[in-house]
Chains A and B, each alone.
Chain A
Amino acid sequence: MVEISQTFLYYFGASIVLGAILFFSVKKLDDGLEKLEAFLLTIILIGMIGLAFAQVILRNFFNTGIEWGDAFVRHLVLWVGFIGASIATKEGGHLAMDLVSRFLPHKLRKPTAMFVDAASAFVCACLALASYKFVLGEKEGGAMLMPGVPNYWAIIIIPIGFYLMSLRFATKILEDIRALFGRAPS
């Protein structure tokens, strides 16, 4: 089993705290990342459609196909999924049960939101670490996705995705604190 060193953990935690402060104070960074993510989404999605469609045509009319094509498209699902989830975090678009907060008085919403965001940031950080370990394990296993591309390159998006979500939840904590003290962001 792959072990993660204590020093790595410190750097990992510090990078989320610093990143959140940076995102909070320089809004353009966060927005810029979002633009990059949205751009990647479009490119990957169109690539996915093209490749998946080509496979159908090749298989049904020419009885052939790109050998690594299907596996490649399946891994692209992870890419659009985790990039989409990262954007969902920024715009608060995740699926939730939301039983109480809809009916909560306005005054209480900010403190509870802060609590929820802090827990979410922590859980995402743990999930980022867990999936990072998983990627390292895959790297040792040495499976190949297609000629010249090892499997673990494709799944690296899982820890990256969880890391970005953690970062965005952490940024939200700071925004919640600012809102709590009355100065709403413009």
Chain B
Amino acid sequence: MNLALGIGIALIALFGAPLFVIFGSISLISFHNAGIDSSATIIEMYRLASAPTLVAIPLFTFAGYMMAESKTPERLVALAKPLFGWMPGGLAIMTIVACAFFTAFTGASGVTIIALGGLLYPVLVKEKYPDNFSMGLVTTCGSVGLMFPPSLPLILYGLISGASVDRLFVAGLLPGLLIILLLSLYSIWRNRGIKQQKHPFSLKEVLKAIKGAAFELPLPFIILWGIYGGYVTASEAAAVTAFYIFVVEVFVYRDLSLTKDIPRIARQSMVLVGSIVVIFAVAMGFTSYLIDEQVPMKLFEWIRLYITSKWAFLLMLNFFLLIVGSLMDIFSAIIVVVPLIIPIAKEFGVDPIHLGIIFLTNLEIGYLHPPVGLNLFLSSIRFKRSIINLYWVTLPFLMLLVLALIIITYWPDLSLYLLHFYGGK
């Protein structure tokens, strides 16, 4: 009976059943077998619904979608162009920075490629960057910036793991900058031989662009100041951001109409939030059941037969997470895998904050990883390219991200160093 059910679940999983249906059915079956009432599935989720951080998820998502649908991307590009255009490889760097900024706010839901990629790719090609390089860069940048506040995956990791979200925000800074740095250096090196039109730096143009984006620019600084200064929590920052963006886009810039655009954006963004919440709802009961049954500990005992050092464990973890990241979206992966990994990692002496950064780096790679990386599909739809072609053009970037992953994994202080200066909790 159980075998038949198992095969059935595996089949619907392969044929594309929603993940919450898969985890829901596994959860219901294991509770049934253990003689536990099915309502236990929901109880655990409800316990987590009382975590204050949960509120940050819909608020930041809505704020991000509002920015994506307004003229923020245009204003961002208008500002980044005079700021970076004079450097060698400047426009490529502009692409990386603008995308990172945008992704941090839109929570790596794929909005970046649709909203910014479509704007930046033609600019890159017009400035004589090679087509393959530009395509690869734009596709890669759809998920760069995941590590910066207030990115949704960081918040979700904090919520699920119990690690402090504020500390995660601090820990993600240097690793995030490392990725930007690596991509920038590569962009400069790759385009070294190309004759490009020089854009002399013009203060006048910068000031003009700053004036254009005057209402949006202070936002990241307000958030960083508020969170790093310890004035507001992540969920409070989400409330301020959502309110601020709402007022700015609807009443100041008037990019969005209250009656036409806002309901559409509310709907789009809440479809994403809803699909996260239902996975949350069914998976939490199941993972806590596994933890009660000591499954992670048994797994740990088994792993220890083969692996004894922390470093070998981290290597294995990276391989495992790369596979997870290439199969699942980042949100489901965090919800389902994190609770089971945390106890094992603890036994190996891995810091939960460092683990979070490793986790997110792996999943960031998962966005680009064949066969089903989300960025590949989004780019393929947005730019009408074949998936196979995108596998090729993103390959150098994929390798750079793997290099970043190795550095981040084996140099814990890169993630943890700044925490010494922060609160000291």
Interface residues of A, Cβ cutoff 8 Å to B: 1-2, 38-39, 41-42, 45-46, 48-50, 52-53, 55-56, 59-60, 70-71, 73-75, 77-78, 80-88, 91, 93-102, 104, 112-113, 115-116, 119-120, 123-124, 126-127, 129-131, 133-134, 137, 155, 158, 161, 165
Query: In the complex the two chains form, what is the Cα distance from A52 to B28 in whole Å?
Result: 35
Residue B242 at the chain A interface, CB threshold 8 Å: yes
Contact between B15 and A56, CB atoms less than 8 A apart: no
Contact for B231 among A52, A60, A75, CB less than 8 A: A60
**The residue from B21, B54, B232, B246 contacting A123, defined by CB atoms under 8 A apart:** B21
Counting chain B CB atoms within 10 Å of each CB, which of A70, A113, A158 scores highest? A158
A97 and B54 contacting across the interface, CB-CB below 8 Å: no
Partner of A100, one of B15, B236, B242: B15
Is A97 a contact of B16 with CB atoms below 8 Å?
Answer: yes
Q: Is the interface of B mostly helix, strand, loop or mixed?
A: helix
Pairwise interchain contact A84-B277, C-beta atoms closer than 8 A = yes
- Find out whether the CB atom of B274 lies under 8 angstroms from the CB atom of A74: no
Q: In the complex, A137 Cα to B62 Cα: how many Å? A: 33
- Contact yes or no, B267 A41, CB < 8 A: yes
A74 near B55: Cβ-Cβ < 8 Å? yes
Closest A residue to B41 using CB positions = A130
Which residues of chain A are within 8 angstroms of B282 by Cβ–Cβ distance? 127
Residue of A nearest to B264 (CB): A38
- A154: min CB distance to chain B, Å: 10
Let me know if B278 and A81 touch, CB within 8 A.
yes
What's the minimum C-beta distance from A168 to chain B, rounded to whole angstroms? 12
**Bound complex: CA A57 to CA B398 (Å):** 44
Do residues A70 and B21 form an inter-chain contact, with CB atoms below 8 A? no
Asked whether, in the complex, the Cβ of A78 is within 8 Å of the Cβ of B271, the reply is: no
Interface string of B172-206 (1 = CB under 8 A from A): 00000000000000000000000000000000000
- Most chain A CB inside 10 Å of its own CB: which residue of B46, B270, B327: B270
Total contacting residues, chain B, CB less than 8 A: 65
Q: Are B275 and A95 in contact (CB under 8 A)?
A: yes
Q: Shortest CB–CB separation between residue B173 and chain A, in angstroms? A: 24
- Docked-complex contact A45 and B58, CB < 8 angstroms: yes
Asked if A130 and B42 make an inter-chain contact with CB atoms under 8 angstroms apart, the answer reads: yes
| Contact in complex: B263, A39 (CB < 8 Å) | yes
Q: Which residues of B contact A95 (CB under 8 A)?
A: 18-20, 275-276, 279, 328-329, 331-332
Q: How far is the CA of A123 from the CA of B24 in the complex (A)?
A: 7
Q: Are A80 and B16 in contact (CB under 8 A)?
A: no
Interfacial residues of chain B within 252-307, with CB under 8 A of chain A in the complex:
262-263, 266-267, 270-282
B240 within 8 A of A: yes
Which residue of chain B is the closest to A78 with respect to CB atoms? Answer: B49
* Residue from A74, A127, A165 within 8 A of B50 (CB atoms): A74
Which chain A residues border B246 with CB–CB below 8 Å? 46, 49
Q: Which 7 A-B pairs have the closest CB atoms?
A: A84-B274, A81-B277, A85-B274, A84-B270, A94-B18, A52-B239, A130-B38
- Are B18 and A96 closer than 8 Å at their CB atoms? yes
B54 and A77 contacting across the interface, CB-CB below 8 Å: yes
7 sampled A-B residue pairs with Cβ under 8 A: A38-B267, A46-B246, A78-B49, A84-B273, A95-B332, A116-B16, A127-B24
| Chain B residues whose CB sits within 8 angstroms of the CB of A38 once the complex forms | 263, 266-267
Contact A78 B277 (CB under 8 A): yes
Q: Are B275 and A116 in contact (CB under 8 A)?
A: no
Chain A: minimal CB distance from B378 (Å)? 14
**Chain B residues near A85 (CB-CB < 8 A):** 20, 271, 274-275, 277-278
Bound together, the chains give a CA A84 to CA B266 distance in angstroms of 9
Nearest chain A CB to B19's CB is how many angstroms away?
5
Interface residues of B in 328-370 (CB under 8 A from A): 328-329, 331-332
In the assembled complex, the CB of A124 is this many whole angstroms from the nearest CB of chain B, namely 7
The residues of A that contact B381 with a CB separation of less than 8 Å are none
Return the contact of B58 from the options A55, A80, A137 (Cβ within 8 A): A80
